[in-house]
Structure 1
């Protein structure tokens, strides 16, 4: 199984276009040892030719241009993208679908709740129907498995996570199972597994179980502290309020991951304010010391 990190940043990427925070200011001026990042998305394949796109960020065009294995190879119009899986209906995970409108009908796998959002509050499925059309395939939210015909040798398990729907959603304040899902990707021939959850606000029992059986964890690395945005004067909302478990502190992601052994652990969906973006920072040294990696655009994982 090969996993390509197309984008490793949170919404807005890094640097964020309108942000002059400590990180964004220094990365622009070349004063920081770090990497720029586009918005979160990954692709997975068993043969390095036929790819499942998992989330479609607003930066999808640049991400695909930086990834030769997924680019056209056969015929006048072609792509290595054989299907798309959406873990939620957040704008930074779905807007890129508009950039894929010039091709054949899109086979999109998502929950019924995500489909509702994308045909109502943000009717991107309706818009695409005038271009390439969408073939929607529902996915389970109880840990059940499914396969995707064009993606050989991979099996997928999806489970509901406690989360809010996006701010635009008609049911923003009425959460439903399926607003956000965690994903286990299994290679059938080898039994190798990866767990992917870029938006994770709580470690529910089934989430911990998924982490413990995975050979690689790609998990929420949005914020270092729960009050990161508050102390910077950017927002009055804390990490947990917007559905993200901070890395540091009691019960934080570092503590959780330290309890999972014999597994490769990678943080993804890194917010532009997070000090771990500075590769010389003390928080980054803390992660290095416990063997937790930080995803970057173009990173490739072989399982």
Structure 2
């Protein structure tokens, strides 16, 4: 199984267009040892030709242009994208579908709650009816295995995560299973497994079990501290309030991942304020010492 990180940043990417935080300012001024990142998305394939996208960020066009394996190969109009799987209905994970409107109907796999959001509060599916149209395929949240036509030798299991629906959602303050999911992606022929969860606010028992039973983790790396946005006077909300487990501190992601001895561990969905983006920072050195990687655009993993 080949995994391609299309984008490793959180909403807004890095640098964020209107942000003058220490990270963004120093990157723009050439005073920063680190990489720019577009907004979070990955793609997987077993044949390097037919690809399943996980989320479609607003940066999808640039991400596809930077990835020759997914670009047109045959005919006037062509793509290596066979289907899209949505982890949630957040704007920074879904609006890229608008950039794919010129092609064939989009086969989109998502939960019923995500479908409701994308046909009501943010009627993306409805808008696309006049362009490519969307073929919706429902996902259950109980780890019932399913396969996707055209993505050979792959089996997927999804489970619900504790989270909030997006601010625009009609049920923002009425959480449901399926607002946000984690997925286990298994290559059937080899048994190799990836756990992908870019938005992870709490380590529930079934989440920890998934982490312990896979070969590679690609999980929420949004914030270093719970008060990161508050301390930088960017927001009054803490990381856990908006559904992201910080890396540091008691019960943080580093502590969790230290208890997962056998998997490759990668953080993705990195916010522009997070000091781990600076490869010279003490926070990044802490991750290095713990054997935890930080995803970047273009990272490829053969599992």
Runs of 4+ in 1 over 3 A off after TM superposition: none
1:191 aligns with 2:191: yes
> What residue is the counterpart of 2:162 in the other structure?
162
Instruction: Give the RMSD, CA atoms, in angstroms.
Output: 0.3
> What residue is the counterpart of 1:32 in the other structure?
32
> What residue is the counterpart of 2:67 in the other structure?
67
CA shift at 1:116, angstroms? 0.2
CA shift at 1:272, angstroms? 0.2
Distance 1:74 1:244 in 2: 41
| Count of equivalent residues | 303
CA shift at 1:87, angstroms? 0.5
Q: Secondary structure at the residue paired with 1:144?
A: coil
> What residue is the counterpart of 2:255 in the other structure?
255
> What residue is the counterpart of 2:214 in the other structure?
214
> What residue is the counterpart of 2:296 in the other structure?
296
Distance 1:4 1:137 in 2: 23
Distance 1:13 1:6 in 2: 12
Q: Secondary structure at the residue paired with 2:109?
A: strand
CA shift at 1:144, angstroms? 1.1
> What residue is the counterpart of 2:238 in the other structure?
238
CA shift at 1:58, angstroms? 0.1
How big is each residue's C-alpha offset from its partner over 1:246-275, in whole Å with a ceiling of 9 and x where there is no partner? 000000000000000111000000000000
Q: Secondary structure at the residue paired with 2:285?
A: helix
CA shift at 1:280, angstroms? 0.1
1:277 aligns with 2:277: yes
Distance 2:226 2:14 in 1: 20
The TM-score normalised by the length of structure 2 is 1.00
Distance 1:75 1:215 in 2: 38
Gaps spanning 5+ residues in structure 1: where?
none
Distance 2:221 2:44 in 1: 20
Gaps spanning 5+ residues in structure 2: where?
none
Q: Secondary structure at the residue paired with 2:63?
A: helix
Distance 1:251 1:182 in 2: 19
How big is each residue's C-alpha offset from its partner over 1:181-229, in whole Å with a ceiling of 9 and x where there is no partner? 0000000000000000000000000000110011000000000000000
Q: Secondary structure at the residue paired with 2:143?
A: strand
> What residue is the counterpart of 1:268 in the other structure?
268
CA shift at 1:143, angstroms? 1.2
Distance 2:82 2:91 in 1: 22
> What residue is the counterpart of 1:85 in the other structure?
85
Distance 2:181 2:191 in 1: 21
How big is each residue's C-alpha offset from its partner over 1:51-81, in whole Å with a ceiling of 9 and x where there is no partner? 0010000000000000000000011100000
The TM-score normalised by the length of structure 1 is 1.00
> What residue is the counterpart of 1:45 in the other structure?
45
Q: Secondary structure at the residue paired with 1:127?
A: helix
Distance 1:28 1:207 in 2: 37
